[in-house]
Structure 1
Amino acid sequence: MHAAHEQTYETTSNHLDGEGLSLVAELTSRATRDNDLTDKVEAYGKAGVPVYLVLDMQEKQAIVFGSPSAQGYEVRFSKPFGEKLRIPESLGCILDTDGFQAPDGPATKKPAP
């Protein structure tokens, strides 16, 4: 998920200007977790995305990155699901993760009667 000023979408490119984005948020999966917490952290930070929020479904925690720079993000906060997480400026708010939970695992088919 991402949020941006509407002018950010006025492009013919299939890539959005990182500085035009306000927030990028991801839910991890077993297949994407490593990329979400390494490559994307570096890429979004260097691109100037102000806030990158990762809901780590495997570790049951919310992680927020802020203060982007040429080296990546300079700020990282995390809280386990059920606690409140401070979202840094430019959004400057509190995310209440009470009620967040990871799925119970792969859906299982009930045996036929």
Structure 2
Amino acid sequence: MTPTPRTPGRPQVAVEDFEELARRAPEAIRLELIGGEVRVKPMPDGNHDEIIMWLLMQCMQQRPDLALYPERGLKVEAYRKGRARTDGALAPRKHFAGQGEWADPDGVLMTVEITSHDFDTERRDRIEKPDGYAAAGIPVFLLVDRDRWEVTVHTEPAKGKYCHVATHSFGARVEIPAPVGIVLETEELKEFAD
């Protein structure tokens, strides 16, 4: 699909049309609507999956009252006109019960993205998604950056941006502040960087 040029501030497609397109997309294609543009999200590789499992186990051990939901679709950006498929969404257990494919982000404590080795990682994972999650008021965004061997914790969302950003090298002890309140020992991430 070749992106259609768009006027700044106007989405490429209506949200309803995007949701229908995403529903009909083949299983091997995962679509998102970020910054008003349709994006194809790469399929995860084995190391990506191992990082999600590592983080899921950390969350379960330290916060059994919460669950990390992989591949959760969220309504993000101002007025919920974006649709992002997170690598992980941390929320109270049973939080998404009864919600559809694209859930309201209210009550989500943290979103997680793990970089993929593709051409769009810089824009998608390091710029657009943090802004979308901040605009949705999600308290914490965690980026596991396999290209840079870093874990970046974004907190304090205000006016569509995270006010506090802390970056740590793989191997560091990373504190995820309230409302998440966990500590990640990231040495093991070195095994899954490539």
Shorter-chain TM-score tier: 0.7 to 0.9
Compared with structure 1, are the counterparts of its residues 94 and 84 closer, same or farther at alpha carbon in structure 2 (3 Å cutoff)?
Answer: same
How far, CA to CA, are the matches of 2:98 and 2:160 in structure 1?
Answer: 28
Whether contact under 8 Å (1:8, 1:20) holds in the other structure is no
How many equivalent pairs are there?
Answer: 102
Whether contact under 8 Å (1:77, 1:85) holds in the other structure is no
Paired amino acid for 1:50 = P
1:3 is displaced (CA, Å) by 1.9
Normalising by structure 2, we get a TM-score of: 0.49
1:73 is displaced (CA, Å) by 0.9
In the alignment, structure 1 residue 17 sits paired with structure 2 residue 104: yes
- Could you give the per-residue CA deviations for residues 39-58 of structure 1, whole angstroms, max 9, x where no partner exists? 00000011011111111000
Task: Look up the match of 1:88.
Answer: 177
In the alignment, structure 1 residue 55 sits paired with structure 2 residue 139: no
1:93 is displaced (CA, Å) by 2.5
Paired amino acid for 2:91 = A
Unaligned segments of structure 2, at least 5 residues:
1-87
Paired amino acid for 2:99 = T
Task: Look up the match of 1:73.
Answer: 162
SS in 1 for 2:187: coil
Work out which structure has the larger RCO, using CA pairs closer than 8 Å and 6 or more positions apart in sequence: 1
Unaligned segments of structure 1, at least 5 residues:
104-113
How far, CA to CA, are the matches of 2:106 and 2:188 in structure 1?
Answer: 31
How far, CA to CA, are the matches of 2:96 and 2:157 in structure 1?
Answer: 18
Compared with structure 1, are the counterparts of its residues 9 and 77 closer, same or farther at alpha carbon in structure 2 (3 Å cutoff)?
Answer: farther
Please give the root-mean-square deviation of Cα atoms over the aligned residues, in Å: 1.6
1:8 is displaced (CA, Å) by 4.0
- Runs of 4+ aligned structure 1 residues displaced above 6 Å come to none
SS in 1 for 2:106: helix
User: As a proportion of its length, which structure holds more helix?
Assistant: 2
Residue identity over aligned pairs, in percent, reads: 25
How far, CA to CA, are the matches of 1:33 and 1:88 in structure 2?
Answer: 25
1:86 is displaced (CA, Å) by 1.7
- With 15-24 and 80-89 compared, the bigger mean Cα shift is at 15-24
Paired amino acid for 1:49 = I
Task: Look up the match of 1:98.
Answer: 187
Task: Look up the match of 1:4.
Answer: 91
